[in-house]
Amino acid sequence: MFNSTLIDIQDLNVRFPNRGKPIDAVRGISFKIFRGETLGVVGESGSGKSVTSMSILGLNHIAGAFVSAGNIIFNSDRLGSVDITKLENQEIRKIRGREIGMIFQEPMTCLNPVLNIQLQLYEALETHLHDENLNLKMRMLELLEKLRIPDPVAKLSQYPHNLSGGMRQRIMIAIALGCQPSLLIADEPTTALDVTIQAQILDLIKEMQSDFGTSVLFVTHDMAVIAEMADRVIVMLDGKIVEQGPVGQIFNNPQHDYTKKLISAVPKIGSMTGKKNPEKFPVEY
């Protein structure tokens, strides 16, 4: 179904130097993300999901980590086939935001509290789109409408603290998807939201994905969300991938004990049929 490789991660190892006692948070993992697919990433807290996401964004250094081995080959529209682990900061900046977008659990960490929404959208779109003829304000309003943000004109002049959590999340998605990235990294994007808003946000991600053909790397603790969103799944444990495969295979025929444990508390795939929103349930690790 999906066969064109967008990103190919080979034997990736990410290390925290940790004052002479290095910790390898990611230990020799390999996986691909194909164009247009959603790859779900599950695994217990501390298993290396966010460190993996940050590696793809070339942002490990922020937490003090570095790629100690392996490659992240990205088929960039602008730069051709590049190894993200070998790029200079200046080159990564050309890709991050424009070709690889990101959304996180807490939108306030992405949004600037002292800028109104218009300025933040403007900054995101303007730095990434250099089409002189594009009417940026029109594009902003279009985006906000697409994300079903009520009263978009008024929203533009508001500040992040004026908005609800769900609205902030939508603005972050608008910023991330505004420049139509080929990859969206979503790290627990809906965990902090109530279940109805969560379902709406997931629908919006899917809709934008089908409009723009975006691939999504979707990190979550919630196996119901995985069943709903992912085409394929990778299961992480202690910095390694213990299992990966199509979502149906992971749910119906899990091989690794850890995967079996993860899904034992989960309704069967297809149980969403006839239901409008996914239902939340606890998963103990």
Ligand X SMILES: Nc1ncnc2c1ncn2[C@@H]1O[C@H](COP(=O)(O)OP(=O)(O)OP(=O)(O)O)[C@@H](O)[C@H]1O
- Should residue 48 be labelled a site residue for ligand X when binding is judged by CB under 6 A? yes
Q: Which residue is nearest to Mg ion (CB)?
A: 50
- Should residue 49 be labelled a site residue for ligand X when binding is judged by CB under 6 A? yes
- Is residue 281 within 8 A of residue 266, CB to CB? The reply is yes
- Should residue 16 be labelled a site residue for ligand X when binding is judged by CB under 6 A? yes
- Should residue 51 be labelled a site residue for ligand X when binding is judged by CB under 6 A? yes
- Is residue 115 within 8 A of residue 88, CB to CB? The reply is no
Q: How far is the CB of 5 from ligand X (least distance, A)?
A: 24
Kind and range of the H or E run holding 68: strand 66-76
Q: How far is the CB of 64 from ligand X (least distance, A)?
A: 6
Q: How far is the CB of 45 from ligand X (least distance, A)?
A: 3
Neighbours of 47 (CB within 10 A): 23
Q: How far is the CB of 91 from ligand X (least distance, A)?
A: 24
Tokens of 54: 């940050």
Residue among 99, 118, 119, 120 nearest 110 (CA): 120
Among 4, 22, 61, 63, binds ligand X (CB under 6 A): 63
Tokens of 133: 């003829």
Neighbours of 36 (CB within 10 A): 19
Exposure on the CB side of residue 25, measured as CA atoms within 13 A: 22
The size of the interface with Mg ion (CB under 5 A), counted in residues, is: 2
- Is residue 251 within 8 A of residue 56, CB to CB? The reply is no
Tokens of 21: 């006692």
Q: How far is the CB of 50 from Mg ion (least distance, A)?
A: 3
- Is residue 232 within 8 A of residue 36, CB to CB? The reply is no
User: How far is it, in rounded angstroms, from Cα 101 to Cα 62?
Assistant: 17
Kind and range of the H or E run holding 199: helix 195-212
- State the distance between the two ends of the chain, measured CA to CA, in whole angstroms: 32
Among 50, 60, 85, 214, binds Mg ion (CB under 5 A): 50
Q: How far is the CB of 251 from ligand X (least distance, A)?
A: 20
- Should residue 76 be labelled a site residue for ligand X when binding is judged by CB under 6 A? no
By rule CB under 5 A, what string of x and - marks binding of each residue 8-47 to Mg ion?
----------------------------------------
- Closer CB to ligand X, 69 or 136, in the complex: 69
**Which stretch, 45-53, 155-163, 194-202, 276-284, contacts ligand X (CB under 6 A)?**
45-53
- Should residue 160 be labelled a site residue for ligand X when binding is judged by CB under 6 A? no
The size of the interface with ligand X (CB under 6 A), counted in residues, is: 14
- Should residue 40 be labelled a site residue for ligand X when binding is judged by CB under 6 A? no
Residue 36 touches which of ligand X, Mg ion, none (Cβ within 5-8 Å per kind): none
Distances (CA, A) of 121 to 66, 116, 153, 268, 282: 31, 9, 13, 40, 36
Contact residues toward ligand X (CB under 6 A) are 16, 18, 23, 25, 43, 45-51, 63-64
